[in-house]
Structure 1
């Protein structure tokens, strides 16, 4: 098995900057302020940050929905700042948004999934195969002739993911895809995302407010005021309870419990991520 460190760069940002300047005399408002970032092929990276921290703006640059006002960003080696490369970038890095209803363009599930490859000029027979394969990969094949508006939120989001898969991307960027779903729908989507990453090697970049989703990543990036302030594995990130809270973020409940127990003098390790780890740590105290 190839080590992540030996794999090629899927996303590389160099001094990436984006600002909004509505008036000539206005001070520039930076949503991205000199981002340097590398994400390797096959990684599962989670991006955290409160509203306005720049995480969604960063994601849109990865899909060429926004162009930077400074710096560079490359997607699978392609210069995403060159508008002539826009469609090639989007073939390689597909994006799933927060509201699945806004992504539905057809009245039948399989037609919706076919929309992307049709726009890429894929031959009809290959489109048929891609649609079937993509729906099977997200466990929605049996719903292929259903009307999307009759599906649950989690099912709609899985169809949206299938639509991206049918374009054969190397990377999927998910911008808070579970924000509008109930707990069951969130579990459905996350199970699908993990499968795509682990079984098919698709690079996943997942933006979320849910800490139980964040701990599933290989790596977590924390953003604040358009900058990256932490970039590490989940355990190391969630050791920084006070820092995360200072920038308006939560931590997993069990992590916070461990942190409070440590402050009371109980000799636990910071960065406990789940109930199983907490039980083991408490048992070791005996």
Structure 2
């Protein structure tokens, strides 16, 4: 098997636009590799192609052109789809659409049951997955009574119970309040760091993106920037040109530099900014 979790080669996805019946490219010739164990964020405004590319990563969509391999398996081959979906789990934006049972632990058991895991093994996986996301004590609760952040953590536990190598999260915090967002991001980071599961997070929150190993920025179906958070966010003008923000402290550093103050624009958080300002003579 490949050491790459995901490999896209000249990936293209076309669709027919409703109004004029014209062909449009949602993804247009993308080359992208994601290493096993990496925490990658894909940024882009609405219509940039980021959700479309995510849906290719577990064969929900198939390419119009080019190739995508998930753990070495070609998504276009029918025989691979089952394995691909076991390897790469997906968490979506709306937690209510992902929960199927009336009791938390039954919901987490749903995926493993579907792939024919033994009942005793399912029990182990459910308990283990709920502990990993910090929701074990809620195992007998009704999901609809939980907060948005808790529901998303249950959805992540349901994917974890399938023992995936990769989890793709498509704007999982978009419908959550700030505390729910924090819960989910800290869960994602924990799973990545402690269990080596590859994370691909699609978000429009810059503070979430700043925590990744690497960021890919998409615009009009293409990758326009790629690098670690410092490299990407220091390109303030490029980001603003395509309608994206950067973390507030990075923007402040940029504005100070524009005013002639010698300061690095590779600043991601308040502590770094304080240190740099204290060193200014």
> Shorter-chain TM-score: which interval?
over 0.9
Match of 1:59 in 2: 54
1:217 aligns with 2:212: yes
Shift of 1:44: 0.3
Match of 1:196 in 2: 191
Q: The residue matched to 2:169 in structure 1 has which SS?
A: strand
1:233 aligns with 2:228: yes
1:24-39 equivalence runs, <5 A: 26-39=21-34
1:77 aligns with 2:72: yes
Q: Partners in 1 of 2:258 and 2:10 — Cα distance? A: 39
Shift of 1:83: 2.5
State the superposition RMSD in angstroms: 1.2
Match of 1:3 in 2: none
Q: The residue matched to 2:189 in structure 1 has which SS?
A: helix
Match of 1:44 among 39, 48, 52: 39
Q: Partners in 1 of 2:225 and 2:79 — Cα distance? A: 33
Residue deviations 1:32-77 (CA, integer Å, cap 9, x gap): 0011110000000000000000000000000111011111100011
Residue deviations 1:103-144 (CA, integer Å, cap 9, x gap): 010000000000101110111111111000000000000000
1:103 aligns with 2:108: no
Match of 2:170 in 1: 175
Shift of 1:245: 0.7
Q: The residue matched to 1:242 in structure 2 has which SS?
A: helix
Shift of 1:233: 0.5
Match of 1:185 among 163, 180, 183: 180
Q: Partners in 2 of 1:235 and 1:78 — Cα distance? A: 32
Q: Partners in 1 of 2:219 and 2:17 — Cα distance? A: 22
What are structure 2's unaligned runs of at least 5 residues? none
Shift of 1:81: 1.8
Q: The residue matched to 1:81 in structure 2 has which SS?
A: coil
Shift of 1:27: 3.5
Match of 1:157 among 140, 152, 156: 152
Shift of 1:22: 5.7
1:114 aligns with 2:103: no
Q: How many residues were matched structurally?
A: 279
Q: Partners in 1 of 2:277 and 2:141 — Cα distance? A: 49
Match of 1:68 in 2: 63
Q: Partners in 1 of 2:28 and 2:90 — Cα distance? A: 23
TM-score scaled by length of structure 1: 0.96
TM-score scaled by length of structure 2: 0.97
Q: The residue matched to 2:180 in structure 1 has which SS?
A: helix
Q: Partners in 2 of 1:129 and 1:135 — Cα distance? A: 10
Change (3 A) 1:258 1:22: closer
> Displaced runs of 4+ in structure 1, greater than 4 A?
none
1:123 aligns with 2:84: no
